[in-house]
Amino acid sequence: MQNKTLVPSTIRNTVVGALSVLFISTGCINTDDVDPFVDGSTQKGLNVTVTEPIDRDYSDIKQDGTIKMITRYSSNTYFLHQGIEWGFEYELVRKFAQEHDLALEVVVVGPNENPYDLLNSGMGDLIAANYTATPERKKYIKFTRPYNLVDQVLVFSDGVEDPPETIEKVAERDIPITVRRNSSYYYRLQSLRDQGINLVTRQVPNTKDTESLLFEISNNTHSATVADDNIFNASNRYMQGLVKGPTIAKNDTIAWAIRKNANDLETELNRFLYKHFRFGNEGEDPKRSTFLNILRKRYFESGQQIAEYYNPEMSSRGSGVISPYDDLIKEVADSAGVDWLLVSSIAAQETKFNPKSKSWAGAVGLMQVMPRFSEVSNEEDLYDVETNIREGVRIIKEHLNHYSYMDSTNKWSFALATYNAGPGHVADARRLAIDQNKNPNEWENVEAALLKLMQRKYYKDARYGFTRGIETVRYVKEIKNRYNTYESILTMSESDEEGTVPGVMGLFN
């Protein structure tokens, strides 16, 4: 099963977050009882509007063949590097999806969207975002068994002289601690105040996430904030000017959030997590699987590689927003009248932008062009990036022309399926759809037929025989949804240049 990252085809151009640390909002809100939003209004609590979860459990997810992960865009949850998906949460959920033969949709929370509402309305199936299990959150969702334990630590700007070593001394010096009203940090600070520690707290709009606040701390915009120790460790690898302060909470449990009525999904997720994280005996560290330890080392403990991929201080424009080949792909695709982001999505799916790639079937180069279908006579020439892109675009353009009588959604679905499986297998699936009195010009009917062509009773009469239809179906879905992710990131990047990008909905730690 291939690696899978999908974004719903109805995504709303909402991929923001990690890069939002570039978009520093101004000002703090000095109130302890309200929940400020970008528009200046105030609401109490988590601002949940969908309180009754839809009826969607594991059996429905299996039937769809897709599990939907709600997350935020950050260096430890989910992010893109040269068009390829990374992130601790992403890789962990993807592992579950692979073991259960499911595709993975990534739903990134956008401005003025609420992850609880997305979850309970069915836009996603689990929230995976370094989520702390808090009583406030449990009013609307439930949590799986944990997969991590973290400590909450104060983080000071290096502009704070002689940083206090205890929370009591922080209170004595009236050092303001900037957090979001919806965060678990806010509730911990409130608990400390209830214990008589007179802390000064400041709240920022919910367009902030922890990484954004840490970035502002590093620039001396604020004096102090709170972060989970793993997020601090990851951020400290590429941000300058952060000073770790005292621990204010130990062993918070990090878990995935799911709908309260998703009992079977909870069972499956808990079985999976039990294999990777178990509590040890009293006084012992938790027991983690090799896979989980690899992820922890990659994203929270090791060298600079992942942090540098994500680093918001590093401009990606020199090599392109999506990949190092943005300008070239734009030029070739535009000249052919083909959407360049879809071409980029194909290249990411085929080779992860590796121009030297060669498949077991003999497809070569960035776009995995089959030499026997190419107009380029010398196979070695297909390893040239520009030549390969031109050939790939020419081939996908031919497929688009073949289905030009269809609406745009169906046309692209059929063209992508043909690029992946070849025209023969797609034609077989369309004939099978006709045999079953279905419209062969509707992708959902042909999609179902492709899956049937994996069964002998159907493929034995097909002109081109057996095909791994599930791979083609997922190929189409992944590329279309990756396109939506790329489109959102491109929109965000263009807005950044204009200085108009809002931050991410700050409901995560």
Which residues lie below 8 Å from residue 265, measured CB to CB, with a gap of 6+?
57, 58, 61, 125, 126, 258, 259
Which of these, 74, 38, 309, lies nearest to 211 by C-alpha position?
74
Residues in a beta bridge with 232: none
**What CA–CA distance (Å, rounded) separates 122 from 80?**
25
**What CA–CA distance (Å, rounded) separates 423 from 420?**
9
Catalytic residue among 350, 447, 478, 487: 350
Residues in a beta bridge with 106: 69
Which of these, 335, 306, 341, lies nearest to 322 by C-alpha position?
341
371 φ/ψ sector (left φ>0, alpha ψ -120 to 50, else beta): alpha
Q: Is 350 a catalytic residue?
A: yes
Sign of CA dihedral 260, 266, 270, 273: negative
Question: In whole angstroms, what separates CA 471 from the centre of its chain?
Answer: 21
The Cβ of residue 454 has, within 10 Å, a number of other Cβ atoms equal to: 14
**What CA–CA distance (Å, rounded) separates 406 from 466?**
26
**What CA–CA distance (Å, rounded) separates 248 from 34?**
23
Which 3-state string (H, E, C) describes 59-75? HHHHHHCEEEEEECEEC
Which residues lie below 8 Å from residue 386, measured CB to CB, with a gap of 6+?
328, 332
Which residues lie below 8 Å from residue 100, measured CB to CB, with a gap of 6+?
62, 67, 268
Q: Calculate Rg over the CA atoms of the chain.
A: 25
Which of these, 503, 489, 419, lies nearest to 106 by C-alpha position?
489
Spatial contact of 503 and 204, defined as CB atoms under 8 Å apart: no
Helix (H, G, I), strand (E, B) or coil at 6: strand
Helix (H, G, I), strand (E, B) or coil at 80: strand
Alpha-carbon distance values, 479 to 354, 397, 433, 483 (Å) = 17, 16, 23, 6
Spatial contact of 179 and 508, defined as CB atoms under 8 Å apart: no
Which of these, 345, 315, 340, 338, lies nearest to 327 by C-alpha position?
340
**What CA–CA distance (Å, rounded) separates 178 from 190?**
13
Give the chain's end-to-end CA distance (angstroms, integer): 32
Q: Looking at the annotation, which residues are catalytic?
A: 350
